[in-house]
Amino acid sequence: MNDIFTNKGDRALIKKFFTFIAAAVLLLASGLAAAAEEGKQADEISYDLDRGNYSYSGDWSYTVLDDMTAAISGYFGGDTAVTVPSTVDGYTVTAIGGGWYEKDGKPVLYGNIHDVEYAEDGSISHSSVYSPFSENTSIVSVSLPSSVKYIGAMTFKGCSSLSYVKLGGGTTLIGSSCFEDCTSLTSLDIPESVTLCDQLMCSGCTSLLKIEIPQGAQVGISAFEDCSALSSAVLPDSCTQLPASLFKNCSSLKDITFGNSLESVGDSAFYGCTALEAVTLPDSVKTIYNNAFFGCSSLSQVYVGENLDALGNTAFAGCALRTLTLPDSLHGIGKNAFGTDVSGTPLPDFTLDCPPYSAAYDYAQKNGIACTASAVTAPDGSSSEYRAGIFGKKLSPKTALYILGFAAAAIIAVIVLMIVNHRSGGEDYETAPQQDLADDDSSDNEYDEDTEEETEDTEEV
């Protein structure tokens, strides 16, 4: 055997053989490692695809929904003018992105929302959505097909170059923060099919000039907050509750049209609307919440309606109002609701116009506010201010009516008793013997004589 390896040529051949074997082993090992890593990545990708049901078609990615329609989940093209397709791989596109909203106190999911976690009370504590255009600063215009019903949360958030959006006629919902911080967007035509403009929908759209919400639609909290160029807004009858901070810091807002069914104006709804000069609320309004018109430094004319019941803290503080008319229906008034600057300092030239001895009248007196309510003179010459109080307390008109009613009932009862007694006394008089009034003195004398005789007889006994 040793003779076999004594030949130099044989030894060189054997060396090459083992070198080849070693190289083959190394290649095999690296191949196995690469295959294992690829398999691991494939498993992870497969997991993601299963979780999000994520697929690709050209420049688009999409999620197949339960109803076998598609939600656009991503855009990978480079166009600045984008047209969303109505179908992808045979699936009708019904949503752009996804999200959830509340209906009757319960969350309703739509689009490509996933990773949903619920709290103990049934509300959603965490969720994720695919927002196909979020933070895309290149796109300038977007056109959506009529097949799209839902435009999801944050779909176009931060698209700072987006200046034009065409919504399809089938759109029913615009999700929360959908167009937030689209600082180049100057207009947004909302189709009549829309029923919900969710919270923060156009917040921070600093170039948006006007907005009109269609009939039948609801609006969410802060939907147009910080839209500093917004000058005109029209709200439908379906907006019965104006949400909090709806137009907060819309410093150019001058014209606002309310629906005829509006019942309340939410917290800070018009906070800091410094260009707003006049507001006419419908008679249906019952509540104006805290800070509703706080800091509206140009607001000098306000009509609050005839059925207002409650006025919140600093509701009209910091306004240009120098007179305000409040109805008798008002029962609750918050601290510094009117007649002060933003720091709470009273305005010396402010005058309140209200019915005498109403809640507003009482508020004015307690806070040293001049009031134009005039006293009514009673027939006896006393003023209504004197007659309105019992034990130093002012009476509302309703309470005064109750007291007058009880007094009238008491007087009627007394009159009835007098009539009854009078009739009873008259019958006794008619049955008694008639006496001659001229004989009164003699009668008395005879009575005295009889008394004396009775006294003498008693002494003899």
- Give the per-residue pLDDT at 101: 86
Over residues 198-213, mean pLDDT: 97
Asked if the structure places residue 405 within a domain, the reply is: yes
Band (120; pLDDT cuts 50, 70, 90):
confident
**Secondary structure of residue 57 in the 3-state scheme:** strand
Segment 79-90, tens digit of pLDDT: 999 999 999 999
Asked if the structure places residue 344 within a domain, the reply is: no
pLDDT at 421 over 50: yes
Domain with 31, as residue range(s), is 4-52
pLDDT at 450 over 70: no
- Give the per-residue pLDDT at 454: 41
**147 close to 94: Cβ distance less than 8 angstroms:** yes
Segment 136-145, tens digit of pLDDT: 999 999 999 9
Over residues 357-385, mean pLDDT: 68
118 - beta bridge partners? 124
> What torsion, rounded to 10 degrees, do the Cα atoms 418, 424, 426, 427 define?
170
Count CB neighbours of 261 within 10 A.
14
Two tokens, residue 458: 């008693």
CB-neighbour burial class of residue 333 (10 A; exposed 0-12, middle 13-18, buried 19+): buried
Distance of alpha carbon 136 from the chain centroid: 31
Q: For the chain, how many structural domains are there in total?
A: 2
**268 close to 290: Cβ distance less than 8 angstroms:** yes
**346 close to 340: Cβ distance less than 8 angstroms:** yes
- Give the per-residue pLDDT at 391: 29
Residue 253: CA count within 13 A, CB half-sphere: 30
Q: What percent of the chain has pLDDT over 90?
A: 60
Over residues 320-345, mean pLDDT: 94
- CA distance linking residue 83 with residue 147, whole number of Å: 13
pLDDT at 270 over 90: yes
pTM over the 0.85 mark? no
Q: Name which of 70-79, 102-111, 225-234, 366-375 the model is least confident about.
A: 366-375
pLDDT at 134 over 80: yes
- Give the per-residue pLDDT at 14: 59
Band (387; pLDDT cuts 50, 70, 90):
very low
Segment 165-195, tens digit of pLDDT: 999 999 999 999 999 999 999 999 999 999 9
Asked if the structure places residue 416 within a domain, the reply is: yes
> What torsion, rounded to 10 degrees, do the Cα atoms 433, 438, 441, 446 define?
-50
Residue 276: CA count within 13 A, CB half-sphere: 34
Asked if the structure places residue 445 within a domain, the reply is: yes
101 - beta bridge partners? 108
Asked if the structure places residue 185 within a domain, the reply is: no
Band (289; pLDDT cuts 50, 70, 90):
very high
**136 close to 159: Cβ distance less than 8 angstroms:** yes
Among positive and negative, which fits the CA dihedral 382, 384, 390, 394? negative
pLDDT at 441 over 50: no
Asked if the structure places residue 29 within a domain, the reply is: yes
Over residues 323-350, mean pLDDT: 94
**Secondary structure of residue 234 in the 3-state scheme:** strand
Q: What percent of the chain has pLDDT over 70?
A: 70
Band (106; pLDDT cuts 50, 70, 90):
confident
- CA distance linking residue 19 with residue 339, whole number of Å: 97
Sorted by sequence, the CB contacts under 8 Å of residue 310 that are 6+ apart come out as 286, 287, 288, 330, 331, 332, 333
Over residues 47-67, mean pLDDT: 75
Asked if the structure places residue 14 within a domain, the reply is: yes
- CA distance linking residue 279 with residue 295, whole number of Å: 14
Band (116; pLDDT cuts 50, 70, 90):
confident
Asked if the structure places residue 310 within a domain, the reply is: no
